[in-house]
Amino acid sequence: MNAFVPGLTGRSERGGACPQWYAIWTKSHSEQMVADQLLAKDLDVFLPKISIWSRRGGVRHAIRVPMFSGYLFLQGDVDKKIYLEVIKCRGVVRMLGERWDSLSPISHPEIESLQQLVNSGLAVTPHSYLRAGQRVRVTAGPLKGVDGILVENKSEKGILVLSVDLLRRSIAVQIDCTWVAAA
Question: Domain check: are 69 and 155 in the same one?
Answer: no
Distances (CA, A) of 69 to 23, 31, 46, 90, 158: 12, 8, 13, 17, 26
Residue 151 lies in a domain: yes
Predicted confidence (pLDDT) at residue 2 exceeds the cutoff of 50: no
Question: Domain check: are 45 and 113 in the same one?
Answer: yes
Q: Domain residues for 40?
A: 21-120
**What is the distance between the alpha carbons of residues 140 and 126, in angstroms, rounded to a whole number?**
16
Question: Domain check: are 55 and 31 in the same one?
Answer: yes
Overall domain count for the chain: 2
Predicted confidence (pLDDT) at residue 47 exceeds the cutoff of 70: yes
Q: Residue 141 maps to which CATH number? A: 2.30.30
Cβ(178)–Cβ(155) under 8 Å?
Answer: no
- Would the pTM of this model clear 0.95, i.e. be above it? no
Q: Give the pLDDT score at 180.
A: 81
Question: Domain check: are 162 and 80 in the same one?
Answer: no
Question: Domain check: are 35 and 58 in the same one?
Answer: yes
Interval 123-182: pLDDT, tens: 776 666 667 788 888 888 888 888 888 877 666 677 777 665 655 666 677 888 778 888
Q: Give the pLDDT score at 179.
A: 81
Question: Domain check: are 25 and 115 in the same one?
Answer: yes
Interval 56-105: pLDDT, tens: 899 999 999 999 999 999 999 999 999 999 999 999 999 999 999 999 99
**What is the distance between the alpha carbons of residues 115 and 110, in angstroms, rounded to a whole number?**
9
Q: Residue 54 maps to which CATH number? A: 3.30.70.940
